[in-house]
Structure 1
Amino acid sequence: MDDNETPALEPDLTRDIFKQIWTRTAQEREGVGFQNTDAIDSEVGTGTSKKIRPTFANLHALKLSCELVRIFITETVRRAATIAEAEGDTKIEATHLERTLPQLLLDF
């Protein structure tokens, strides 16, 4: 499949995923499990506490994030296919994907 044929990720989906992560992080920060809340808030400055400020991303940042995730997924599948082909397999298995992750994390 050519990169031009690869469907793009929707910015709304990316925003929803980010929003879920931001909400979970805020809940952890407010909960018992997160320590040193004062140190993090004091780095932001007076009146701009992370607890008070809403977290958001503009449209350009969301589009860029979508493109980066798309490239990451495409490269992961390509590398897993190479490994599967080298082993003589015709299908990409979870083990092929798992073997690509350490190098991908270093590359990206």
Structure 2
Amino acid sequence: MAEPIQMDTKRKGVDKVEERKRITCAMDDNDTPTFEPDLIRAIFKHIWTRKAQERERNEIQNPDALDSEVGAGTSKKNRPTSANANALKLSCELLRIFITEAVQRAATIAEAEGGSKIEATHLERILPQLLLDF
């Protein structure tokens, strides 16, 4: 009985390695248009900065609010937010796949309606299901 469990565990490990290789190959493919990691980093930084400013405004407006984090120096505003290179690459790939899928689904709707261009209404129609799928 112990052997099948060990084999399954090994298989899962192999599957994870194969999945990582497949993602890396897809990201390294020069023929595939993708987002630049620096662009994604800049977008993330912009969002993180806005969120930090929002937290500061909330603290100023409500000075009696208790800090939910425990320990000295662990406050979110004291810690720099960053993303490692692999996380940025993966984010780029996820965005590329998401946008490709959105365009393909919208094109299917446009073709079904007899149109040759994707319009905003086509994207609006596919968006709810697309968000549920991702």
Q: TM-score, normalised by structure 2?
A: 0.70
User: 2:20 maps to what in 1?
Assistant: none
Task: Report matched runs for 1:27-42 at 5 Å.
Answer: 27-32=53-58, 38-39=67-68, 42=69
Higher CA-based Rg = 2
Task: Report matched runs for 1:1-108 at 5 Å.
Answer: 5-32=31-58, 38-39=67-68, 42=69, 45-46=70-71, 47-108=73-134
In the TM superposition, residue 6 of structure 1 has moved relative to its aligned partner by: 3.4
In the TM superposition, residue 100 of structure 1 has moved relative to its aligned partner by: 1.1
Provide Cα deviations, 1:64-106, integer angstroms capped at 9, x if missing partner: 0000000000000000000000000000001001111101110
Tell me the distance in 2 between the aligned counterparts of 1:51 and 1:79. Answer: 41
**Amino acid of the structure 2 residue aligned with 1:90:** S
- Specify every segment of 5 or more residues in structure 2 that has no aligned partner in the other structure, as ranges: 1-25
Aligned residues: 102
Two-structure CA RMSD over aligned residues (Å): 2.0
Tell me the distance in 1 between the aligned counterparts of 2:91 and 2:39. Answer: 11
The structure-2 alpha-carbon separation of the partners of 1:56 and 1:37, relative to structure 1 and needing over 3 Å to count, comes to farther
Query: Whose helix fraction is larger, Structure 1's or Structure 2's?
Result: 2
Tell me the distance in 2 between the aligned counterparts of 1:6 and 1:88. Answer: 29
Over the matched positions of the two proteins, sequence identity in percent amounts to 71
- Specify every segment of 5 or more residues in structure 1 that has no aligned partner in the other structure, as ranges: none
